[in-house]
Amino acid sequence: METLKELRDDIAAGKTTSVAAVEAFFARIDQFEPTVGAYLSLCKERALEQAATVDAKIATGEAVGELAGVPVAVKDNMCTTFDATTCGSKILENFHAPYNAHVIEKLNAADAVIIGKCNMDEFAMGSSTENSGLKQTTNPWDASCVPGGSSGGSVAAVAAGLCAASLGSDTGGSIRQPASFCGVVGLKPTYGRISRYGLVAYGSSLDQIGPLTHNVTDAALMLNIIAGHDERDSTSVPEDVAPLKDYLAELEIPFEELKIATVPQLNEGADALVQKAVSEALAVYKSLGAEIVEIEMPHFDYAISAYYVIATAEASSNLARYDGVHYGHRTADPKDYIDVYSKSRDEAFGAEVKRRIMLGTYALSSGYYDAYYLKALKVRNLIRSDFTKAFEQADCLMLPVSPTTAFKIGEKTDDPLQMYLADVYTIAVNLAGVPGISIPAGFDENNLPIGLQIISEAFSEDKLLRIARMHEKETNWHTQKPNL
Amino acid sequence: MADLDYKVIVGLEIHVHLATKTKIFCGCELAYGDTANTHVCPVCLGMPGSLPVMNKTALEYSILTGLALNCEIAKFTKWDRKSYYYPDLPKNYQISQYDLPFSEHGYIEIPLESGETKKIRILRAHLEEDAGKNTHTLGNFSAIDLNRAGTPLLEIVTEPDMNSAEEVGALARELQRIVRYLGVSEGDMQKGHMRFEPNINLHITKNGEVFKTPISEVKNLNSFRAVERSVAYEVRRQLAAFEETGVTMQMGNKATYGWDDDKQMTVLQREKEEAHDYRYFPDPDLVPVDIDDAWLGEIKGRLCELPIQMQVRFAKEYGLSDYDAGVLTADRATAEFFDGTVKLGADAKRVCNLLTQTGLKLANEKGVSVDQLRISMENLAKLAKMADGGDVSASAATTIFEEMAENGGDPAQIAEAKNLVQKSDAGEIEALVDAVLAENAKAVEDAKNNPKKGKKAMGFLMGQVMQKSKGQANPKIVSQLLNQKLNV
Amino acid sequence: MTTKIDEAQVRRVALLGRLELSDEEVAQFSGQLSDIVTYIEKLNELDTDNVEPLAHCLPVHNVLREDVPKPSLTNDQALANAPARENEYFKMPKVLGDNSGA
C-alpha cells in the first residue's frame, strides 16, 4: 500500500496518473466499503474530473500543488460546496454548505483530489463512531470491533486503504484514539495551528483539525498543506506569534539529547498489553540514547471531569442553531413555532448528542455556573500548568493513547460514563491546547493495534514529528496492514 | 383621585445601531430596506462551521461613545454568548458582553426646560450583535429576514435618574445628538437606528410613608414621542393602579409592556419577568481585547466638543438665547460652522441670524449641511462684518448670502455687482440731505415744530433721502444727519 | 444510583435546551446525568480559590478585522437549505411576542 508521499511522488514523476490512483481507490472502495462503512458520501465523478485535470497539467508540465492528484478524504464535519456536510447527524442529513472550509481550500490549492467524506460520531461526540446517526463504521482489523471515534470513518478509510490520507478532528482524542485503534498515525496539532473556519463546531475551545496517515512522513506532509493563519478564524494563531515550519525539512534528523517524560502512575490505568507497548516504545528511545524522566501530573485525573463540563457547555451553545428554522431537519407538522425547535431537535439528534446538550446546559444554567463551568475552567488552568511543568523537565511526554485496544461494537453503548472514562489519556491534551500524536506501537493478543501517544509543548509540531519519526524508523508496526 | 405626593423614577436602556460599513462579525454590508436575505453570509446566518471576527471600527465607535458618555473604559474586555431561542436569532445565542463590558460608570448631561443641565448616570455600555426581523405578513406564518442580523449594536443602560417624561425625552434626544456628533450612528429613528426601553416606577409618599410601585419595562420604542408618551402614560396608570389596589413593588412583579401607538397606551406583554436563564459564558470563538493607553489615546483624539457643552457655551459666551443655541447645536456641522465663523471675529448674533434664518433653510432645501453650501467661514464672517458695519443692509445681507450659497463668491464683490453697497460717506450723504431739506420746507417745519406730525414728517424726509440715493445710503447715517440738522 | 438530577431538573434543562424529551428519555437521562455529574464533582477535591479560570489557551488577544465589505450570498444561496421559504424569506409558524433578548 503506497503512502501519501509515495503516491504523490509517483504521480508527479509520471509513474502513474491521478486518474489511475482514483480508480484504484474506488476499486478498493467497491470491494471493502460495504464492510468498513468509512464513507458518508463519495464523489467519484467529481474526483475523476479533478484527477484528469491534474493529469493534464502534469503532462504539459504546468505547475501543480504539493498533493497533486492524490486521493484523500475528509471527516464529514468540514464544510464543502460539493456533497452534503452532515456531521453524522440526521439534523444535517441534507445540509449543503454554501462555502468550503479553510482546510478544503488548502487541499484544493494543493491539487489534492477529495474522493469522499467520512463517517463520524454525531457532531464528533463519541469514541467509537457508534453515535453516527447515519452509518456504522467497523474496524478494518476486526469488523466486529469499533474503529474508535469520533473520526472513525477518516481513520478506517486510511487503515483499509480506501484513500491515501484523510483529515479528522480532535476535541478530546477523536484523531488519536481511533488512530490507535486502527494502527495509523493521527496528529492533533496545537490549538490555533489550523483554521477551524468551516469545521462544524463541537467544543470550540478544544476542536482542532489534523491528519490521519500511514506514517509520520505523511503526517508532516499533510500538516505542511493545512497549517497556517486564517483571518476568518479569530483563534487561528498568526505566524508571527507561532512561526510555521516546513515539517518535512528536518524530519529525518533524530532529536539529540532527547528527554522523555513518563507518568508511571498514569500508565497503570491501562491494559497490561498497552502498558507493555508503551514500555517497549520507551526502550526503543532509550536504545537511541534518550533519557527517560519519571514525573507526576497531579491534576491529570481531573481532566475528564473538566472536559465533560467545558466541552458540553460549549456544545450546548454551538448546537443551539440546529433548530429547523434556517436549515436542517424540521419536524413534519409543527403545531406552533416552539414545536419547530423542540420536536425537530428531539427527532433528529441522537441520544449522545442530547445527553451532552443536557449536561452542558445544566453546567451553564443559573445556580450551577460557578460550581461546574467556572470550576472546570480553573481546573483547566491547573491541568495546563501540569503540562507546562512537564515540558520544563523534558522535551516530550509519552503516554498510552487509550487504556484498551478496540472494543466490540455495542460493548459500551449502555454506559456513557464508562465510555467517557476511556478518554483519560487524550483529553488533557485538548484542555492544555498542546499537540499530540498517536503512532502505531504494537498489537494485542487479538492482533488489534496499540498506539503510543507523544505530546509536546504548544506549536512544537516539528519536534513532535521528529521524535515520532525516530520510533518509526526503528520499528515496523506502521507497515502492518489489516487483512480485509 | 386624591392628590398624591409622588416622584417618577425612570431608567433607560438604549440600543444604538453603529454606522459601520459592515456587520459586527462578518463582511456583509449594512443595508436598510433592501430585499430580504440578500445581506447575509454563512457567519450572520449562523451556518455550521462559520466563525465571527470582530469589526475593529464597531469597537472603536463604541469606545468613542463610551468616552463621550464619560465612562471608564475597561483595559480588558471580552465577548460572551447569551442564549435564548428566537427565530430571528440564527445561532440561538447572541454575542454580547456580560460581566466585563468595555465601559461602565459614566454620565450624560441633558438640557432641561429651565436652561439648566442635569447629569444622568450611565451604568454601562456594551457592544453586541442585533437580531434579524420577524414580520407577520403570512397569516399563520412569520417571515424571517436576516439582513439586520449582526448589525453592531451599542447597548447603553442608565441609572434610574430621570424624574419625568420630559427628562426621558431630553436624554433620548441628547443621545441622538451625541452619536450624530461623533459620527458613530446616523441615529435615524425611522430606520430603527435607536430603540428605547424605559423602566418606570413611582415613589409615592402617603401618610408619611413611601410606597414604591412595581416597575414596568416598555419594550422597543422607536420614536421620541413614543418614549415620552409611554412614560407619561405609565405614570398615570401606575398612580391609578396604586390608588385602586395599593399594589407595591415586590420581588418579581416587574412587568413588561409594549406601546400601542394607535391607542396611545401601554399594553401588558408579560406579567412576571420570565425565568430567563441566558446561560452567559465567554464566547470561545472570539479572543479578549486589551485596550491599551496608546489605542485609547488615539480614539480620544477623535472626540469632539459635545453638543450640550457647545450649547451652553454659545448661550454663555456668545449671548445667544437657549433656543438659538439649541438650533445651532442640533447638528455638529452647523455648530462648528457657526463657531468657526464667530471665531473669525464676526458678531455671533448676526451669524446666528444669517444661519438660522437663511442658511439652515437653504441647506435643508438642498439636502446638505450648512457647511456644504458654497460659503466659506471666512466669507460668512466677512458678510456678517459688512452687515454690522453698515456696508450692506440686513436684507441685502440675506440676498448676498443666498447668492453665495448658490454660486459661491466674495460677499463684497457680490454687493458691488448687485449694487447692494450702502453709502456711508457722510459728505456725500449730507449733500443729499441738504437737497431734500431745501426741497421740502413743509415737512421740515412739521418735523421741527409739529409734535403731532413730527414723526411722520421725519419718516417722509428719510424716505426722500433714500430715494435720492437709490436706496444705497446707509439709513443710520441718514437718520443721524437729519436729526442733527433739524435739531430733534 | 443517585438521583442528583431528578426528573424535574431534567425537564427544566430540556426546556432550556429545546429538547422535547419522552418520559422514557427523561427517566434515562435523570439516571445517566446523575452518574456523570457525581463523577464530575470530583473537581471539588481541588482547591481553586487562587486559580484563574482558563477559557482559552491561546497566546493571542485583539483579533480585529478592518471594516471592509465582502460579498454576501445571493438570496437563493441563503435560502437553499431552508426547510420552508416564502418568496425571499425563511418561513416559520407564526412567532409570538418580541425578541426579548436583544
Residue B272: per-residue pLDDT: 56
Q: Which domain holds residue A42?
A: 4-253+456-479
Residue B488: per-residue pLDDT: 67
User: B78 vs chain C: nearest CA distance in angstroms?
Assistant: 10
Whose CA is closest to A481, among A49, A183, A79? A183
Residue A47: per-residue pLDDT: 98
Q: Per-residue pLDDT averaged across B380-393, rounded?
A: 85
Residue B416: per-residue pLDDT: 81
Residue B248: per-residue pLDDT: 83
pLDDT for residue C99 is more than 70: no
Looking at every residue in chain A, the average pLDDT score rounds to: 96
pLDDT for residue B53 is more than 90: yes
Residue B3: per-residue pLDDT: 67
Residue C1: per-residue pLDDT: 43
Residue A9 in grid coordinates: 511522488
In the β-sheet with B93-96, what is the strand arrangement from edge to edge?
Answer: B93-96, B80-83, B281-282
Residue B429: per-residue pLDDT: 79
Q: Per-residue pLDDT averaged across B310-339, rounded?
A: 94
- ipTM of the complex model: 0.96
CB contact under 8 A, B49 and A201: yes
Q: Per-residue pLDDT averaged across B215-224, rounded?
A: 93
Q: What is the CATH number of the domain that holds A178?
A: 3.90.1300.10
DSSP structure class, residue A370: I
Residue C102: per-residue pLDDT: 43
C9 CB neighbours in chain B (<8 A) are none
Residue A190 lies in a domain: yes
Q: Per-residue pLDDT averaged across A208-231, rounded?
A: 98
Which of the four pLDDT bands, split at 50, 70 and 90, describes residue B414?
confident
Dihedral (CA of C13, C17, C23, C29) sign:
negative
Residues B335-356: tens digit of each pLDDT: 999 999 999 999 999 999 999 9
pLDDT for residue B2 is more than 60: no
Residue C23 lies in a domain: yes
pLDDT for residue C101 is more than 60: no
Task: Between B446 and A220, name the one with better pLDDT.
Answer: A220
CB contact under 8 A, C90 and A337: no
Q: Per-residue pLDDT averaged across B179-202, rounded?
A: 95
To test the contact with chain A by mutation, choose from B24, B41, B47 the residue with the greatest count of A C-beta atoms within 10 A, namely B47
Active site residue A57: no
Residues A313-367: tens digit of each pLDDT: 999 999 999 999 999 999 999 999 999 999 999 999 999 999 999 999 999 999 9
Q: What percent of chain A has pLDDT over 90?
A: 96
**CA angle, A205 then A103 then A191, to 5°:** 25
Q: Which domain holds residue C33?
A: 7-45
Residue B479: per-residue pLDDT: 82
Rounded Cα–Cα distance for residues B378 and B411 (Å):
10
Q: Per-residue pLDDT averaged across B146-165, rounded?
A: 97
pLDDT for residue C30 is more than 80: yes
User: What count of CB pairs under 8 Å joins B to C?
Assistant: 155
Residues B254-283: tens digit of each pLDDT: 888 999 989 999 999 876 555 679 999 999
| Long-range pairs of B405-412 with CB within 8 A, sequence gap ≥ 24 | B405/B358, B405/B359, B405/B362, B405/B373, B405/B374, B405/B375, B406/B374, B407/B374, B408/B374, B408/B375, B409/B374, B409/B379, B410/B379, B410/B382, B411/B379, B411/B382, B411/B383, B411/B386, B412/B382, B412/B386
Residue A135 lies in a domain: yes
Residue B40: per-residue pLDDT: 98
Residues A119-166: tens digit of each pLDDT: 999 999 999 999 999 999 999 999 999 999 999 999 999 999 999 999
Q: Is A248 exposed, middle or buried (0-12, 13-18, 19+ CB in 10 A)?
A: middle
Q: Catalytic residue among A174, A236, A456, A460, which? A: A174
Q: Can you list the domains of chain B with their CATH numbers?
A: 5-294 (no CATH), 307-417 (no CATH), 426-486 (1.10.10.410)
A345 CB neighbours in chain C (<8 A) are 17-20
Judge if pTM exceeds 0.80.
Answer: yes
Best mean pLDDT range from B99-108, B275-284, B358-367? B99-108
Q: Per-residue pLDDT averaged across B122-126, rounded?
A: 98
A42 close to A29: Cβ distance less than 8 angstroms: yes
| Chain C neighbours, 3+ Cβ pairs < 8 A | A, B
Residue C97 lies in a domain: no
Residue B487: per-residue pLDDT: 75
Residue A83 lies in a domain: yes
Residue B483: per-residue pLDDT: 83
CB contact under 8 A, B48 and A204: no
Residue B262 in grid coordinates: 394607535
Residue B259: per-residue pLDDT: 93
Which of the four pLDDT bands, split at 50, 70 and 90, describes residue C3?
low
Q: What is the CATH number of the domain that holds C20?
A: 1.10.20
Residue B263 in grid coordinates: 391607542
Residues A244-254: tens digit of each pLDDT: 999 999 999 99
Q: What percent of chain C has pLDDT over 90?
A: 82
Rg (CA), chain B: 31
Q: Per-residue pLDDT averaged across A285-314, rounded?
A: 97
Which one of A231, A359, A433 has the shortest CB-CB distance to C65? A231
Rounded Cα–Cα distance for residues A214 and A390 (Å):
29
Residue A239 lies in a domain: yes
Q: What percent of chain A has pLDDT over 70?
A: 100
Residue A104: per-residue pLDDT: 98
Residue A356 lies in a domain: no
Rounded Cα–Cα distance for residues A214 and A4 (Å):
8
Residue A475: per-residue pLDDT: 97
Residue A66: per-residue pLDDT: 97
- For the stretch B272-294, what's the b/e string if a residue is b when 16 or more beta carbons lie within 10 angstroms of its beta carbon? eeeeebbbbbbbbbbbbbebeee
Q: Is A336 on the interface with C (CB under 8 A)?
A: yes
Which of the four pLDDT bands, split at 50, 70 and 90, describes residue B117?
very high
Q: How many domains does chain A have?
A: 1
Which of the four pLDDT bands, split at 50, 70 and 90, describes residue B476?
confident
pLDDT for residue C5 is more than 70: yes
Residues B194-204: tens digit of each pLDDT: 999 999 999 99
C36 CB neighbours in chain A (<8 A) are 308, 359, 416-417, 420
Residue B280: per-residue pLDDT: 96
Q: How many domains does chain C have?
A: 1
B400 close to B411: Cβ distance less than 8 angstroms: yes
pLDDT for residue A52 is more than 50: yes
Which one of B50, B146, B279 has the shortest CB-CB distance to A365? B279
Residue A331 in grid coordinates: 419536524
Q: Per-residue pLDDT averaged across A419-437, rounded?
A: 96
Which of the four pLDDT bands, split at 50, 70 and 90, describes residue B468?
confident
